[in-house]
């Protein structure tokens, strides 16, 4: 207990100290907004950590291993292919590959748990998801570092193309899932949520091996802004939450039909979880879209240009606004809303991926 208390203080100390040290050391590479974002990130982590102990452990482990990886690189990009630990574990590519293999594995074990109902499987699946998430975050952080190794002016936060944001999507979705799982103290829903993560993993693998998408590319001029550090993550909390809502709705529909009824949580719980996920997603999506508009006003000369991505963001927003409206104001419940939330994921997916695939516009950063 004392140890935990001590750890928590240490965590808060670190979250304040690390950004401060970075500010002193690297302030010449940052503008004022980026400094605020840096400090803000530390504070955000303190707040999340206060409500969620395991998040603190995750942050600390990710930081330690990422720094260890950076240490192993010795400032040379090619160490990633030579040094044993980097090559097989901690280079960004290997870490992301670990993530890609562990998520589908934990999906399998979640299903085992669903059928065998032995708590061992449930805990194991959860732990695997935690490890996969840690590896994914390490992968992104190390990738961030690697981009600077390529060249100082190439370096940028790895949320700039389709490959990177897909990794981010997996991580955010998994984190939200782990949070709800812990608060609910029930692990069955992993069997559903991990499906959508595994599909995303499949996309990442295909994208890596057939298109070589994992190569780090320098930022196009339009993306060189501190706004990217806020706009993109906020958007992906939205996407991730909507994805979770849709998968829980699938569970809802199954239970409603009497399938797996004895093994899954009750309709009331599922319904409430869907609502919570959509609510949090909606707030983040709203903020992300607004921030996107503010950014657009700065980069493209207008806060709203009816660019396909913007327009589809509006459609996604209207869709979930309608969902919330019916539920909150009209008090509607039941399978209709569940179907709606599943459809919502399709619309969201189109906004997220389809627009890049089929429509051209200002947001064409991640083409296939």
Partner 1 sequence: MRFAITMLCFIGIASVIGTILKQNELYENYIIKFGQFWFEFFEVMGLYNVYQAFWFLVILIFLIISTSFCVSRNSPKILKEYKKFQLNAREKSLSSFKHSYEFPVKKFDFVKLEKLLLDNKFRLKRQIKKDGSLILSAKKGDFQKLGYIFTHLAIIIISIGGLMDGNLVLKMQELTGTKQIIYEDLALNDIPETGKLKTSNFSYRAQMLLREGEKQSVAVLKVKEGYLIQDLPFSVGLSDFRIKHYSTGQPKSFESDLIVEDKASGQLVKKTINVNNPLTFNGITIYQSSFEDGGSELALDIWNLHSPEKASKMESVIFKKNELVFNEKKYFFEFNDFRKFNILDIESGNKKTPTNVGPSFIYKVRNESGQAHEYQTYQFPMRIDKSLYFVSGMRKTPQEEYQYLKLPADANGEIEGFMIFRTLLHSPQTLNDAIEKVVAQSFPEGGEKSQIYFEGVKRVMSEFVHGGYSQIASSIDPSISLEDQKRIANSYIKIIFLVGQELIDIYQSNNAEIDNFLFESNYKFVQEALTGFNDSFFYGLPIFLELKEYVHIQSSGLQLTKSPGQFWVYLGCILLVLGIFCMIYIQEVRLWVLKKKDKKNVLVALTTNRHRYEFDQFAVRISQQIRKILN
CB of 328 to partner 1, least distance (A): 6
CB of 164 to partner 1, least distance (A): 17
CB of 275 to partner 1, least distance (A): 8
CB of 221 to partner 1, least distance (A): 4
Q: Which is nearer to partner 1, 79 or 224 (CB)?
A: 224
Distance in angstroms (rounded) separating the CA atoms of residues 105 and 86: 22
Per DSSP, helices labelled H in the chain are 2-26, 32-51, 53-73, 79-82, 84-85, 92-116, 119-150, 162-184, 190-211, 227-256, 267-299, 308-328, 335-349, 355-358
In the block, which residue shows the tokens 């179907």? 339
Given a contact cutoff of 8 angstroms between Cβ atoms, the answer to whether 289 and 317 are in contact is: yes
Residues making contact with partner 1 (CB under 8 A)? 151, 153-154, 212, 217-218, 220-222, 224-225, 268-269, 271-272, 275, 279, 282-283, 286-287, 290, 293-294, 297-304, 306, 308, 311-312, 314-315, 318-319, 322, 324-325, 328, 331, 355, 359-361
Please give the C-alpha separations between residue 251 and each of 156, 184, 221, 363, in angstroms, as whole numbers. Answer: 39, 15, 44, 34
Q: Which is nearer to partner 1, 25 or 330 (CB)?
A: 330
Q: Which is nearer to partner 1, 104 or 344 (CB)?
A: 344
Q: Which is nearer to partner 1, 7 or 300 (CB)?
A: 300
Q: Which is nearer to partner 1, 8 or 186 (CB)?
A: 186
Given a contact cutoff of 8 angstroms between Cβ atoms, the answer to whether 225 and 37 are in contact is: no
Exposed/middle/buried for residue 102 (C-beta within 10 Å: 0-12, 13-18, 19+): buried
SS (H, E, C) 180-236: HHHHHCCCCCHHHHHHHHHHHHHHHHHHHHHHCCCCCCCCCHHHCCCHHHHHHHHHH
Given a contact cutoff of 8 angstroms between Cβ atoms, the answer to whether 241 and 281 are in contact is: yes
CB of 368 to partner 1, least distance (A): 15
CB of 160 to partner 1, least distance (A): 13
CB of 361 to partner 1, least distance (A): 8
Distance in angstroms (rounded) separating the CA atoms of residues 154 and 146: 10
Given a contact cutoff of 8 angstroms between Cβ atoms, the answer to whether 232 and 161 are in contact is: no
CB of 248 to partner 1, least distance (A): 14
The pair of structure tokens assigned to 5 is 């208390």
Q: Which is nearer to partner 1, 119 or 151 (CB)?
A: 151
Handedness of CA 246, 282, 96, 122 (dihedral sign): negative
Q: Which is nearer to partner 1, 132 or 351 (CB)?
A: 351
Q: Which is nearer to partner 1, 21 or 31 (CB)?
A: 31
Q: Find how far residue 335's CA is from the centre of its chain.
A: 28
Compute the half-sphere exposure of residue 314: CA atoms within 13 Å on the CB side of its CA: 9
CB of 237 to partner 1, least distance (A): 14
Q: Which is nearer to partner 1, 16 or 267 (CB)?
A: 267
């Amino acid at each position: 207990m004392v140890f935990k208390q001590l750890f928590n203080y240490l965590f808060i100390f670190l979250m304040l100290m690390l950004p401060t040290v970075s500010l002193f050391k690297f302030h010449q590479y940052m503008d004022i907004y980026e400094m605020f974002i840096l400090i803000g990130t530390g504070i955000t982590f303190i707040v999340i950590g206060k409500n969620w102990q395991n998040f603190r452990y995750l942050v600390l482990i990710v930081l330690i291993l990422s720094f260890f990886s950076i240490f192993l690189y010795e400032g040379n990009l090619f160490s990633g292919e030579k040094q044993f630990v980097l090559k097989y574990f901690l280079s960004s590519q290997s870490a992301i590959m670990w993530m890609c293999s562990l998520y589908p594995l934990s999906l399998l074990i979640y299903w085992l748990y669903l059928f065998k109902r032995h708590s061992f499987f449930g805990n194991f699946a959860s732990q695997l998801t935690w490890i996969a998430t840690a590896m994914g975050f390490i992968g992104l952080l190390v990738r961030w570092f690697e981009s600077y190794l390529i060249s100082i002016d190439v370096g940028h936060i790895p949320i700039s193309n389709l490959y990177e944001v897909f990794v981010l999507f997996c991580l955010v979705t998994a984190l939200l899932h782990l949070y709800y799982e812990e608060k609910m103290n029930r692990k069955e829903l992993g069997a559903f949520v991990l499906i959508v993560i595994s599909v995303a993993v499949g996309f990442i693998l295909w994208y890596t091996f057939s298109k070589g998408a994992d190569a780090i590319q320098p930022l196009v001029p339009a993306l060189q802004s501190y706004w990217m550090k806020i706009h993109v993550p906020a958007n992906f909390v939205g996407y991730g939450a909507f994805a979770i809502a849709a998968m829980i709705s699938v569970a809802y529909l199954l239970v409603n039909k009497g399938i797996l009824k004895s093994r899954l949580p009750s309709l009331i719980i599922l319904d409430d979880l869907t609502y919570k996920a959509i609510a949090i997603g909606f707030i983040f999506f709203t903020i992300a879209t607004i921030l996107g508009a503010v950014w657009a006003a700065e980069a493209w000369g207008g806060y709203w240009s009816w660019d396909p991505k913007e327009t589809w963001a509006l459609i996604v927003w209207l869709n979930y606004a309608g969902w919330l409206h019916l539920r909150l104001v009209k008090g509607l419940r039941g399978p209709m809303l569940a179907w709606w939330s599943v459809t919502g994921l399709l619309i969201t997916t189109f906004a997220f991926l389809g627009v890049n695939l089929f429509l051209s516009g200002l947001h064409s950063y991640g083409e296939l």
